[in-house]
């Protein structure tokens, strides 16, 4: 297949490029910069210049491909001043919505698959979130990727959703990367309360393989969980960060979370545990990569 991949030069996207090319697929990867274009060519991919704001470029890339994986998302809001981040996140989500609809418009009625990346939320209090659980209509985390993808089904688009946990290796670890940055800044590695809330996780190579399997066996309306570990306790994550940075590990109260974590406080106390049982059965996917704590313990903490 010829696969159009947005976010092709990113952390997860670059792993997907390797997974697809090694399986014999041709990748048309979107790149914003000359540096990104060179990286894609070195990885054996064809370059498609553009970005999420250029909707016509997205439509063109999708139109000349046999399938699309949408892995890009504008995370620049994290670099904004703390008080500006919520509005920045909403703007990023609206940009993502426009990009998904542009990709879908080029695929409508064709039978060609579109896999849209999303996240896992606290949608099943007291139990593991499953692929059958739906995000609420009103969410405090307004990323609308999944909603936008499912809306395309009525337009004849074979859309599916890949819900991502904390995707990791020894360099990056999803939201944990932001916890590490906060710990460096504050001089302590903190968790909220007893730190028993959990985050699901998966190694980046396992996730890349799942994207390929979902592309090769497309199913309209499917929701997949790229979950290798159903839930890693935040206290264990904080302790691993403390070991790595050689700083104290502390518990803070929910009332202190806002001052300590800033905008990240809305994630720090959430229980996001999730199952991938349905995904594993449907796609015969069995994650084998190292766990999150193992990767944290293998990090080179003080290298630039």
pLDDT at 140 over 60: no
Report, as an integer, the average pLDDT of 171-185.
95
Q: What is the pLDDT of residue 41?
A: 97
In this structure, what token pair is assigned to residue 78?
């994290």
In this structure, what token pair is assigned to residue 187?
């001089």
How far apart CA 89 and CA 76 sit, in angstroms, is 9
Q: What is the pTM of this model?
A: 0.94
Q: What is the pLDDT of residue 136?
A: 77
Task: Report the candidate in 248, 171, 243 with the shortest Cα–Cα distance to residue 205.
Answer: 171
Q: What is the pLDDT of residue 81?
A: 45
Give the CATH fold of the 2-167+201-228 domain: Rossmann fold (3.40.50)
Phi, psi of 75 (to 5 degrees): -100, 15
């Amino acid at each position: 297949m010829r696969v159009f991949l947005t976010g092709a030069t990113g952390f997860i996207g670059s792993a997907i490029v390797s997974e697809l090319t090694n399986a014999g697929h041709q990748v048309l990867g979107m790149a914003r910069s000359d540096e990104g274009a060179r990286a894609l060519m070195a990885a054996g991919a064809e370059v498609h210049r553009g970005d999420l704001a250029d909707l016509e470029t997205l439509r063109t890339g999708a139109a000349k491909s046999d399938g699309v994986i949408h892995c890009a998302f504008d995370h620049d809001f994290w670099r904004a001043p703390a008080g500006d981040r919520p509005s920045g996140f909403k703007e990023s989500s609206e940009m993502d919505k426009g990009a998904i609809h542009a990709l879908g418009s080029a695929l409508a009625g064709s039978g060609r698959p579109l896999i849209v990346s999303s996240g896992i939320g606290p949608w099943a209090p007291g139990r593991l979130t499953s692929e059958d659980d739906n995000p609420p209509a009103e969410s405090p985390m307004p990323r609308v990727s999944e909603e936008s993808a499912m809306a395309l089904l009525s337009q004849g688009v074979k859309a599916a959703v890949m819900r991502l946990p904390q995707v990791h290796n020894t360099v990056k670890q999803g939201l944990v990367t932001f916890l590490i940055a906060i710990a460096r800044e504050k001089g302590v590695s903190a968790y909220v309360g007893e730190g028993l809330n959990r985050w699901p996780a998966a190694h980046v190579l396992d996730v890349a393989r799942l994207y390929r399997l979902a592309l090769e066996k497309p199913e309209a309306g499917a929701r997949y969980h790229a979950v290798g570990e159903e839930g890693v306790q935040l206290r264990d994550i904080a302790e691993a960060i403390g070991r790595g940075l050689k700083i104290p590990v502390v518990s803070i109260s929910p009332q202190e979370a806002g001052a300590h974590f800033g905008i990240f406080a809305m994630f720090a106390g959430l229980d996001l545990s999730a199952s991938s049982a349905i995904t594993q059965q449907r796609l015969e996917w069995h994650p084998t990569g190292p766990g999150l704590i193992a990767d944290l313990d293998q990090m080179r903490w003080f290298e630039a």
